[in-house]
Structure 1
Amino acid sequence: MSVEQWHSQRLTRVRELLGQQTSVQAILLSDLNDIRWLTGFTGSSGWLLITATDMWLFTDGRYTEQAHAQINAAGVAAHVIECRTQQSVFEALAHRLSKCSHIWFQSAHITFDVFQTLNTSLSADLVPAPALLGAIRRIKDAGEISLMSRACDIADRALAEVLPMLLSEPSEKNVRDQLDYLMRQLGADGPSYDTIVATGPINAARPHHYPTDTRIEEGHTLIIDVGALVNGYHSDMTRSYVIGEMNGEQVHAYEAVREAQAAGVALAGPGVATRDVDAMCRKVLHEAGLAEMFNHGTGHGVGLLIHEDPYLNSSSTAILQPGDVVTIEPGVYRGGFG
C-alpha cells in the first residue's frame, strides 16, 4: 500500500468517528503528532481543522512551503493557510466555523489561556475530544509498523557494532556517542531519546541514568537503553550485560529478568489486559525474590512518541488490540549492585 493510501485510511477513520456524532461538526487538532500522522506535516507550529468534507492546516510563514510539499507528498487533500500570529489563526478558524454549533478540541494539548482566547474567538461551543480519538492513532497500520521495524533493525545493528568496544574500558559517554553516530550512519534520523549507558554498582542501578565519564570495567553490570528514530517513528531497546565473568548474584538476577520478560511476551496478545502482562512479569520476579527491585512499569506503547498508550502497569485498564506496538521490559535495580 502507498503512503497516500495510508494517510487516506487514517483520515477516513477520523471522519468515521466524527460522522457518528449528531451535534459535533468539526475536529480541531493542536497535537503536532496527530497532525503529522494525518498529513505528514512536521513543522513545530500548526493547527488542523477537519470537517466531513474538508481540511485546513494553519501554520506560520516559516512552514507554508514545507507544509505544501509534505501534504502533497502524503497525497492529502488539505488547504494550507498562512497565519502569522495566533490571533490570526483564531480569526481564520472563526471564519470557517461560522456555521458550526459544536467542535471537538484537544483539551490536553492547549493551555488554559489559549483555550480562553479560542473560546471567545469562536461562536461554536468547544467540546473536549473523546478518548476514542487518541485510540485511533494507538492502532498502528502496516506503514507505521514497517518504519518501526526499520528503526529496531538500525538500533540492533548499531549495538552489534559497538559491543566489541565494551572490553576496552570505554566511558559511558564514548559508548553513547558511538551508538548515536552509527544509528545515523545506518539511516536513522537520530536517536529516539537520550541514549542511556549506565555501568557499575551505582550508575546501573538508575534506570534513566545520564551517561558520564565513568569507565566500563570488568565485573560491572551494564545497561544500554537505545532506540533509533526513522521518519518520526521510534524504537526502544534495553540490553543488560556483565563485563567479564558473572558472579552468582548477577546470574540469578539476569536469568530472573530474562524469564520475566519471556513470560510477559508469551502472555501478551489481543484481548489481554495490560495489567495482567505487568502482573505476570512481577510474579516471576517475586518468585525469584527480586520483586522489590522492580521499580517501574513493565512497558508502554511506541509510535510517534517514545512513550504512548497503552501502558503496561498495575493501574492500567487497557486491553491489548491488534495493531498495538508495546515494549515489555521488566528490570531489577539495586544501589551497590547495579
Structure 2
Amino acid sequence: MSTEYFQRRQHILIDKLAKESLDGMIVTNLIHIRYLCGFTGSSATLLITADQVHFITDGRYVVQSEKEVKGANVIIDSIPHYEVIKKHNLLTSNQNIGFDGNNVSHQGYQQISKVLANINLKNITGVVEKMAMSKDEKELEAIRTAVEITDKAFAEVLPMIKIGVEEKVIANQLSFLYRKYGDSDSDAFAAIVGTGPNSAKPHHKPTDRKIGPGELLVIDSGAKFAGYHADMTRSFATKGYSDEQKSIYDIVLDAQVKSIEGIKSGVSCKSIDSIARDHIANEGYSKFFDHGLGHSLGLEIHEDPRFSKVSEDILEENYVMTVEPGIYVPDIGGVRIEDDIIVTKNGAEILNKTSKEFQVIS
C-alpha cells in the first residue's frame, strides 16, 4: 500500500485529535501501528503530531521498517521508546498528548509520565478502533480473499471428516491448507473443533477425541490474508443423530438467516442480536445461547462493533461483521453457524460460499 494511503489515515487521526484539543498521540498498540503506517513487526511506538509522524523501533527492524513503514520518520534506537522521544526532543513543553489507556498499563503510564514530565497526557480510548470500523476497498479485498481461502480449505477438509477422525487432525489440516493457499500469516486464530460433548463448548480446543456416532460436530476456523481475518463456523451431525439434534440445527440456521435478513446500514447492532436471540428463546433454548451474535472483523479477529444485548452501535456501510448464533446443550451437543458479511446500504452481502445445509457424517 502506498505512502498516501497511510497518510490519509494519519491525517484523519490528527483531525480527530484536534477536535479533542490534543496536539498528538502516542500509539503503542501494534495493530493500530500497522493500521496507521503498515509496520508488521513486534516492537514499535508511533508518535503522531500535526507537524510530523515518528516511528520508533530497535535495530532488529532496520530492514523491515525501511520496507514497510509509510508516512513516518523512522528512528532506530536501543533505548526505551519514551526515552527516544525525550532524546530527540520530539515533543515540546506543555503539549497535550493523547494515549490509549486500553493499551497502556499502569506501569507504562508511570513511565511516560516520568520520562515525558513536561507534557500533558490525556487518556483517549477507542479513537483508532472507530476509524477502523468501516473498511475501505483494499481492506474488503483482503477480507474477501481470506474468506475464499477459508471456503477452499473447508471444501478440501470435508471429505476427511468421518466417524473415527480426531478433532485435532481436522484442525491441523485446516491450518496446513491456510498456509498452502494463503500467505505465511495464515491462521486467523486457533481452530475450534469439537465433537460430541465438546461441541457444547463454544471455544473448545481440539483434542485427540474421535468423532463418534449420534453426535454433533462444530468447526470454527478462518484464514488470514494480508493481516485481515476471516471467521466461519459450520456444524454437522453424525449417523445416528437424534430428532432434537436436528431440531437444534434448524433453529440455529433459521436464527442466522433471519438475523442476516435484518442487517442494513442504519440499523442498531442490538436489534440484530435480538432477532436471533428472540427466535431461539421462542423455541425454548434461551438459556443455551449466552454469547453475542457476532463481531466485526479486520486486522483483529474480534473488533468493534459487536452484535450484543448491550451494544449501542449503529451499522454503517462497509462494516464487516460475523453472524454466529449458537445453541449449546450439555449431553446433547452444540450447533453454531457463522458467516462473514459486509453491511450495505440496503442489506448485507454474505461472503462465505460453504453450504449451510444439514449434513450427516458417516
**TM bucket normalised to smaller:** over 0.9
Residues 268 and 315 in structure 2, CA contact (< 8 A), matched pair in contact too: yes
CA distance in 2, matches of 1:43, 1:132: 22
CA distance in 2, matches of 1:132, 1:287: 39
Residues 18 and 52 in structure 1, CA contact (< 8 A), matched pair in contact too: no
Shift of 1:7: 2.0
Which residue of structure 2 lines up, in the alignment, with residue 52 of structure 1?
A: 50
Q: Any idea what the Cα deviations from partners look like across 1:56-79, whole Å, max 9, x if unmatched?
A: 1011111122111112xxxx2211
Same amino acid, percent of matched pairs = 35
- 1:77-226 correspondence runs (5 A): 77-86=71-80, 89-94=81-86, 95-99=89-93, 101-122=95-116, 123-167=118-162, 169-188=164-183, 189-200=185-196, 202-226=197-221
CA distance in 2, matches of 1:245, 1:231: 42
Which residue of structure 2 lines up, in the alignment, with residue 15 of structure 1?
A: 14
Pairing 1:43–2:37 present = no
Shift of 1:191: 1.3
Instruction: Give the structure-2-normalised TM-score.
Output: 0.87
Which residue of structure 2 lines up, in the alignment, with residue 265 of structure 1?
A: 260
Which range is displaced more, 241-250 or 282-291?
241-250
Shift of 1:263: 1.1
Q: Which amino acid aligns with 2:85?
A: L
Structure having the higher helix fraction is 1
Shift of 1:5: 4.4
Which range is displaced more, 174-183 or 163-172?
163-172
Shift of 1:130: 4.7
Q: Any idea what the Cα deviations from partners look like across 1:87-125, whole Å, max 9, x if unmatched?
A: xx2233231102552111111111111111211222110
List runs of 5+ in structure 2 lacking aligned partners. Answer: 334-362
Q: Any idea what the Cα deviations from partners look like across 1:241-291, whole Å, max 9, x if unmatched?
A: 112354311221111101100111111221111111111101111121121
CA distance in 2, matches of 1:103, 1:335: 51
Structure 1: 4+ residue segments shifted above 6 A: none
Which residue of structure 2 lines up, in the alignment, with residue 304 of structure 1?
A: 299
CA distance in 2, matches of 1:152, 1:245: 32
- 1:61-76 correspondence runs (5 A): 61-71=59-69, 76=70
Are residues 5 and 97 of structure 1, via their aligned partners in 2, closer, same or farther at CA, if it must alter by over 3 Å? closer
- 1:232-243 correspondence runs (5 A): 232-243=227-238
SS of residue paired to 1:320: coil
Q: How many positions carry a matched residue from both structures?
A: 329
Which residue of structure 1 lines up, in the alignment, with residue 350 of structure 2?
A: none
Which residue of structure 2 lines up, in the alignment, with residue 285 of structure 1?
A: 280
Shift of 1:313: 0.9
Residues 149 and 181 in structure 2, CA contact (< 8 A), matched pair in contact too: yes
SS of residue paired to 1:28: strand
Are residues 101 and 8 of structure 1, via their aligned partners in 2, closer, same or farther at CA, if it must alter by over 3 Å? closer
Shift of 1:4: 4.2
CA distance in 1, matches of 2:226, 2:128: 22
Structure having the higher strand fraction is 2
List runs of 5+ in structure 1 lacking aligned partners. Answer: none
- 1:19-30 correspondence runs (5 A): 19-21=18-20, 23-30=21-28
